[in-house]
Amino acid sequence: MEQKIYIYDTTLRDGTQGEEISFSVEDKVKIAYHLDDFGVDYIEGGWPGSNPKDMEFFERMKNVKMKHARLAAFGSTCKASATPETDENVNQLLKAATPVVTIFGKSWDMHVTEALGTTPERNLQIISETVKYLKDNDKEVIYDAEHFFDGYKSNSEYAIKTVEAAEAGGADFIVLCDTNGGSLPHEVEKIAAAAKAAVKTPMGIHAHNDSELAVANSLAAVGAGATQVQGTINGFGERCGNANLCSIIPNLQLKMGIEVLPAAKLKALTELSRFVSEVANLQPRKSLPYVGQSAFAHKGGVHVSAVMKSARTYEHIDPEVVGNSRRVLVSDLSGKSNVLYKAEQLGIAIAGNNGKATKIVNELKALEKEGYVFEDADASLEILIRKDTGEVEIPFELEALHIIIEKNDNAGLAHTEAVIKLRVGDRIEHTAAEGNGPVNALDNALRKALLQFYPQLAETKLSDYKVRVVDAGEGTSAKVRVLIETTDGESEWSTVGVSENIIEASWKALVDSIVYKMMKDNDKMTRRKLEAAK
């Protein structure tokens, strides 16, 4: 029978030690529910002896019945000067009332004498006694052998004695930690095999990513007999992060043939990754394997041509297996295949029209040379393709635009007003609006002028606005690229504009944003009419 691999998630504890990551108690509860729904085996909720927030989290979770996962509280062995019964931190672990307690202890003799300031013999004693005390209190005990690989390299005999001490205390799992993240996969496999031979207790791995090898080291440990893998969602964690469970889980399941989750659960991996990033208030890293937005993105024309014939040519798995999707990017590296794929995706009929596809490719390359980037501006790309196929027209024309900025003294705030004159059909609309800056004033004036003609624009608002300098060496006269994200409450779209003038670049992106909204609303109306006619 195949050995089960247990997934132990420490996003809520080790993950929070990463820079820019701070979860509220409510955040931690939400993530815990998601992790449980996803199907991880253990969720490490925090260190109750270290801060009030973690204690509040465990208090909130006391009456929660998990569907699958077992909740763990994290802490350390008792102090060298205390006993488990008298150690406050150890007893806080019991107060957390979790079914599982994870404690770490020292494996490296240098840490024992210099950091703990005690003897190697006393360290072995506190390991076994702390484990036993927690076991006597009916806890499942996971022992994290901190710095095990560095300790083994320094003094292999003593490092092995520390895990033997944990086994003597009755530990349910002994987890070997590459705490400094400096070990290589062949070292991990060899040392993990030596530890596996020395103890009968099930073994786990806890790897850090300081050498960009946390995932590889985790898989190497599994190859040596580890049956528990610890890590975090998206690899969040201190310094360079922890082993990324979003890579480990599909690698175990799809590459090594070890079923960790039901296939239906694995499809939720990308959603889980992005949910945790959202709660952490961090932009999801596009380049993450398996779950990143770029993980199955194709840009080179040769690649896209091949993928259109067989996805296996440039994709190591079907992206849908992990809940991700294929993306074809259109840029100055594109060929006709990219444009044809994108047009088909958008429902635009240009297949078989090589002249039209070539014209669009050439136009895209010329625009990218000027500083445009369409990889994050799908709405502007769709408008460009539809213009070239005669499927869209700009429903208004700019007659005049004035931006007025007044500032009377150094202390006062600047006053900004945009005055705009538009032609809509055979009518002229002349209006003005204020804003908290020139772009905001421009946006307000444009919408105000168009609302009487297109009332659906009231549903839209800008959700993000970014400016990038295209030619940094040109200083303040450089071209800028403006990326705008817009939402109408149902969907979001991105548009781009480029110019030496930031207002003009913003204008181009704003116009595309409004045109895209109108275009999509017209498409909906057309579909409804066709359905009604049926």
Mean pLDDT for 381-403 is 84
pLDDT at 237: 97
Q: Domains in the chain, please, with CATH?
A: 6-279 (3.20.20.70), 297-370 (no CATH), 396-453 (3.30.160.740), 460-534 (3.30.160.340)
Beta bridge partners of residue 250, listed in sequence order: none
Residue 156 has pLDDT above 50, yes or no: yes
Residue 9 pLDDT > 90: yes
Mean pLDDT of 304-332: 78
Record the tokens describing residue 195, joined without a space: 């530890």
d(CA 226, CA 3): 10
Close Cβ partners of 116 (under 8 Å, ≥ 6 residues apart): 80, 106, 123
Instruction: Give me the long-range contacts of 324-328 (CB less than 8 A, separation at least 24).
Output: 324/270, 324/290, 324/291, 324/292, 324/295, 324/296, 325/296, 326/296, 326/297, 326/298, 327/293, 327/294, 327/296, 327/297, 327/298, 328/297, 328/298, 328/299, 328/304
What is the chain's Cα-based Rg?
A: 29
Q: Which residues contact 302 (CB under 8 A, 6 or more apart)?
A: 335
> Among 29-38, 226-235, 400-409, which is the least confidently predicted range?
400-409
Q: Between residues 381 and 253, which one has the greater pLDDT?
A: 253
Tell me which amino acid residue 107 is.
Answer: S
What are the C-alpha distances in Å from 371 to residues 185, 365, 367, 375, 472?
Answer: 43, 10, 7, 12, 12
The answer to whether 360 touches 388, Cβ cutoff 8 Å, is: yes
Q: Is the pLDDT reported for residue 331 higher than 70?
A: no
What's 10's DSSP letter? Answer: -
The set of residues, in sequence order, having a beta carbon less than 8 Å from that of 432 and lying 6+ positions away, is 417, 418, 419, 420, 445
Residue 326 pLDDT greater than 60, yes or no: yes
Gap between the Cα atoms of 421 and 97, Å rounded:
67
Mean pLDDT for 179-188 is: 98
Q: Higher pLDDT residue, 300 or 32?
A: 32
Digit-coded pLDDT (tens) for 43-60: 999 999 788 999 999 999
What tokens appear for 455 in the block?
A: 């009332």
Q: DSSP for 147-188?
A: THHHHHHH-HHHHHHHHHHHHHHT-SEEEEEETT----HHHH
Q: Which two tokens stand for residue 473?
A: 């060496």
Q: Other CB atoms closer than 10 Å to residue 188's CB: what's the count?
A: 26
Share of the chain above pLDDT 90, in %: 66
What backbone torsions phi and psi does residue 218 show, to the nearest 5 degrees? -65, -45
Q: Report the alpha-carbon distance of residue 478 to residue 473 in Å, rounded.
A: 7
Least confident of 68-72, 200-204, 347-351: 347-351
Q: Where are the beta strands (DSSP E) in 27-151?
A: 42-46, 70-76, 100-106, 140-146
In order of 147, 286, 291, 374, the CA distances from 294 in angstroms are 34, 5, 8, 14
The whole-number pLDDT of residue 514 equals 92
pLDDT, position 329: 62
Angle of helix 52-61 relative to helix 25-38, nearest 10 degrees, comes to 50
pLDDT in tens, 456-488: 899 898 888 989 888 766 666 788 999 999 999
**Contact assessment for residue 180 and residue 151, using Cβ atoms and an 8 Å cutoff:** no
Average pLDDT over residues 316-321: 94
Residue 262: is its pLDDT beyond 60?
Answer: yes
**Residue among 164, 124, 145, 23 at smallest CA distance from 76:** 145
Q: What's the CA gap between 330 and 338, in Å, rounded?
A: 6
- Give DSSP secondary structure letters for 17-37: GSTT----HHHHHHHHHHHHH
Name the pairing type of β-strands 461-469 and 480-487: antiparallel
Q: In what order do the strands lie in the sheet with 492-499?
A: 461-469, 480-487, 492-499
Cα 53 to the chain's mean position, in Å?
Answer: 24
Within 141-281, residue ranges assigned H as helices are 148-154, 156-169, 185-198, 214-223, 245-250, 263-266, 269-279
Q: Residue 95 — pLDDT band, cuts 50, 70, 90?
A: very high
pLDDT at 415 over 90: no
Q: How many helices (H) and strands (E) does the chain have?
A: 18, 16
First-to-final CA distance of the chain: 57
Q: What is the mean pLDDT of the chain?
A: 90
Residues β-bridged to residue 43: 9, 71
Q: What is the pLDDT of residue 1?
A: 40
Is 81 a residue whose pLDDT tops 70?
A: yes
Residue of 138, 252, 158 whose CA lies nearest to 205: 252
What average pLDDT score do residues 79-104 get? 96
- Give the DSSP H or E segment for 205: strand 203-207
Q: How far is CA 144 from the centre of its chain?
A: 27
DSSP strand pairing (228-231 vs 297-298): unpaired
How far apart, in whole angstroms, are the C-alpha atoms of residue 323 and residue 103? 35
For 6, residues 6+ apart whose C-beta sits below 8 A from its C-beta are 41, 42, 173, 204, 227, 228, 229
- pLDDT (average), residues 56-69: 94
For the ranges 28-42, 216-230, 331-345, which has the lowest average pLDDT? 331-345
What is the reported pLDDT for 99? 97
